[in-house]
Amino acid sequence: MPPSIQALTHTYFRHNKRFPHVWCPGCGNGIVMGALLRAITRLELEKDEIVLASGIGCSGRMPTYLDFNTLHTTHGRALTFATGIKLANPALNVVAIMGDGDATAIGGNHLIHAARRNLNLTAIIINNSIYGMTGGQYSPTTPFGSTTTTSVYGHIEHAFSIAELAVTAGASFVARSTVYHAALADQLIEQAMMKPGFAVVEIISNCHVQYGRRNKIGNAVEMLTAFKEQAVTVKKAATMEQKELQGKVTIGVLADRDLPVSTDEYKKIRERARAAQEES
């Protein structure tokens, strides 16, 4: 039986920190936070074994509310801080929580190179297709033609696909869910945290205030319903024609491969260097 909301609240929340939270009613960030806590509960990890690092944006508030080792860092730099922590103490379970703008614009190079190096980290990227907290500007995942405060007559750039980018960049584990598929989200986060190497979980979320309203998509419930209708599992997608997949979002595990882990390889280099010094 999954843990109750009350049990998660009493175990993991910092009750004396900035509650009620700053997220808009109906925001998907709370669903992602619940999924993360259910995954950690199932893994039976102690709170002191976990580090949660964030950048700037709506998702950046999450470490404020949760009673782990936490950092609220500069914009786009959650992975750089997470990298330093992991190198200093490889025993820690380090999770970087980011939004789409944080992870793929300001922090875009960090995401690509963290995947390429195969650092032993978990990156959770909440993709709501816009910069929500800073005023509704377009981000690298804003769909072509969409209206934002910086594309009032329609967005002329094409959107990144975060999960496919992470697969191509070399991450060991890549998965995608939506906030409608909350149970799947916490299963994927659990798998990601168990996977040696760099693991990315993209969770498509709603920003009905900044994105949905401007693009006449509807309120939070209507946006979650749309995620339900657009989502196709990886298994089902494999049986569909390309034209049938137009407008669909593939959910599930997109990549799961065993690759040399950066911290393990670095340890080997240190041992070789030490041996060479002793021989000289």
How confident is the model over 94-135, as pLDDT tens digits? 999 999 999 999 999 999 999 999 999 999 999 999 999 989
CA torsion sign for 256, 258, 259, 263 is: positive
Lowest mean pLDDT among 10-24, 203-217, 233-247: 10-24
Q: What mean pLDDT is predicted for residues 74-88?
A: 95
Task: Work out the pLDDT band at 20, boundaries 50, 70, 90.
Answer: confident
Helix (H) or strand (E) holding 263: helix 262-279
Q: What mean pLDDT is predicted for residues 172-192?
A: 97
Q: What mean pLDDT is predicted for residues 201-226?
A: 95
Give the pLDDT score at 209.
93
Quick one: tokens of 134? 């800073």
Quick one: tokens of 99? 């939004």
What is the rounded distance in angstroms from the CA atom of residue 132 to the CA atom of residue 173? 27
Q: What mean pLDDT is predicted for residues 218-240?
A: 96
The torsion angles phi and psi of 231, rounded to 5 degrees, stand at -80, 140
Task: State the residue for tokens 């490889």.
Answer: 90
At 8, which amino acid appears?
L
Give the pLDDT score at 1.
64
Give the pLDDT score at 2.
67
Tell me the pTM: 0.94
What is the rounded distance in angstroms from the CA atom of residue 280 to the CA atom of residue 273? 11
At 245, which amino acid appears?
L
At 240, which amino acid appears?
M
How confident is the model over 109-120, as pLDDT tens digits? 999 999 999 999
Quick one: tokens of 139? 């981000």
Cβ neighbours, 10 Å, residue 134:
15
The distance of Cα 75 from the centroid of its chain, to the nearest Å, equals 15
Burial of 150: CB neighbours in 10 Å, binned 0-12, 13-18, 19+: middle
Helix (H) or strand (E) holding 185: helix 182-194
Residues near 127 by beta carbon (within 8 Å), at least 6 away in sequence? 99, 100, 141, 162, 202, 203, 204, 205
Give the pLDDT score at 6.
72
Share of the chain above pLDDT 70, in %: 99
Share of the chain above pLDDT 90, in %: 88
Secondary structure class of 270 (helix, strand, coil) = helix
What is the rounded distance in angstroms from the CA atom of residue 248 to the CA atom of residue 231? 6
What is the rounded distance in angstroms from the CA atom of residue 170 to the CA atom of residue 259? 9
